[in-house]
Each structure stands twice: as C-alpha cells, then as structure tokens.
Amino acid sequence: MSNIKSAQELRVLLEKNAKDKNYYLNPDMAFVDALLEGLIKNLNRYGYSSCPCRLSTGNYELDSDLICPCVYMENDVQKYGSCFCALYVSKDVYENKEVISSIEPSKR
C-alpha cells in the first residue's frame, strides 16, 4: 500500500477490499473522505496506513493490528454493523436499514 499517493487511489483499493469481504464503505462520502485523508497522513507519517481513529506508536509491529483494514474490522462489522471508525459498514447500514451506533472499546 506504500505506493498509494492519493485518497482517491486509496478509496479504490479499500472499496475493492470491502467488496471482496461483502462489506461496504460508509455511504457518507464526506465522512469517508476525512478518514481517507487520515489514512494517507498516517501512510506518509509511518509508512503504513494505521487507522486514524486509533493512536499509533510509529512502530509497525506494535501497530500491525491497527493497519486498515484492522484485524478488528470484520468482527465489528458483523457484530455492530460497522468497524470502530465506521469506514466499513454492513449491507444493512449501507442500505439505511440499520443505524450505526458507537462501539465502546471496553466491549471488545
């Protein structure tokens, strides 16, 4: 992913990843754009796209579980309808059949 230069390139990659896993990117494009910019910043800062909604250490090994899509994404989408940062959502959320609610870190 280190060859990604723009939020648009990253969006294409993440949309493909979501589709491959039968998930969707959040339908709120302004929200997604903000997250993509955060991912690009972290990619430029650390050399990997750590989730912008979590604190990264700058150490790849310590942050490996937070690299988007993070290791928590699939379980969170299945359980809560979205991942922690709400970049990835379930089909029901995407189709406005379900509302995203916040995921408390203590519920992990």
In angstroms, the Cα distances linking 86 to 11, 13, 46, 100, 101 are: 14, 17, 22, 8, 9
Domain range annotation of the chain: 7-107
CA distance 18 to 32: 13
pLDDT digits (tens, 9 = 90+) for 79-99: 999 999 999 999 999 999 998
- Predicted TM-score of the model (pTM): 0.86
Residue range 7-107, CATH number: 3.90.460.10
Ranges of residues in the chain with a pLDDT under 50 are 107-108
Q: Are 33 and 95 in contact (CB under 8 A)?
A: no
